[in-house]
A and B are shown apart, each in its own frame.
Chain A
Amino acid sequence: NAGVTQTPKFQVLKTGQSMTLQCAQDMNHEYMSWYRQDPGMGLRLIHYSVGAGITDQGEVPNGYNVSRSTTEDFPLRLLSAAPSQTSVYFCASWEQETQYFGPGTRLLVL
């Protein structure tokens, strides 16, 4: 099992550009989540999904969209990047009480 994978590892965007952060898991987990991590603020939940076709907003959803067409994939879309979205993004999936994180994507918005 590869676990939770994320691409790209690093990305630089200009303000106003759009992009999709990819997340995939091969553990057949129903629950998946996206977080952003900023210095001094811990991790904050952006969006989550409880299964294919079902998504919902977390604590900081503005500026981000998600979809869940398959159990394996949970992409995060930035429609119009802003400097405030400079952060490290983590995707995670759940098995019972254990949450497994991907390696993260470092995003810089200029």
Chain B
Amino acid sequence: GQQVMQIPQYQHVQEGEDFTTYCNSSTTLSNIQWYKQRPGGHPVFLIQLVKSGEVKKQKRLTFQFGEAKKNSSLHITATQTTDVGTYFCAVSGGYQKVTFGIGTKLQVIP
């Protein structure tokens, strides 16, 4: 299956600072998905990107898919304490077989 590397593994930011997590692959990806998991909770689907160079926004969250479809990023502008959690990228293969990155754990310091 398609493998993805996610960095950083941990990130602490002051409230109001920006945050970015990256997802990289050595092979061309068919798509990339992003999920958020709050502490003690379950993963929640955020978005799927499929097109080369695609950029999508959800309020303060900006998702990008690289031109070569080998990397993706999630950027949060002006973090809030409600952004705390682990953000995962994932690749969905045939029959919805999904491979997840290890996640980036975000801590926001008030």
Q: Point out residues on A near B: beta carbons under 8 Å.
A: 31, 33, 35, 40-45, 48, 50, 56, 58-59, 90, 92, 94, 97-104
The CA-CA distance from A92 to B43 in the complex, in Å, is: 10
Across the A-B interface, how many residue pairs have beta carbons closer than 8 Å?
Answer: 55
Count class of interface residues, chain B: 20 to 34
Q: CB within 8 A of B95: which of A44, A56, A99? A: A56
Since A98-B45, A101-B43, A103-B42 are in contact, a sample of 14 more A-B pairs with Cβ atoms closer than 8 Å, ordered by chain A residue number, is A31-B95, A31-B96, A40-B102, A41-B102, A42-B6, A42-B88, A43-B90, A44-B100, A48-B95, A48-B96, A90-B43, A94-B96, A97-B33, A101-B42
Q: Which interface residue of A59, A90, A99 has the most chain B CB atoms within 10 A?
A: A99
A90–B97 touching, CB < 8 Å: no
Distance of A107 from chain B, by nearest CB (Å): 15
Chain B interface main SS type: strand
A45-B98 in contact (CB<8A) = yes
**Shortest Cβ distance from B92 into A: residue:** A97
Q: Are A42's CB and B100's CB within 8 A?
A: yes
**Residues of A contacting B: mostly:** strand
Which B residues lie within 8 Å of A97 (CB)? 33, 48, 92
Closest 3 CB pairs of A and B: A42-B100, A101-B42, A42-B102
- Pair A104/B42 contact, Cβ less than 8 Å: yes
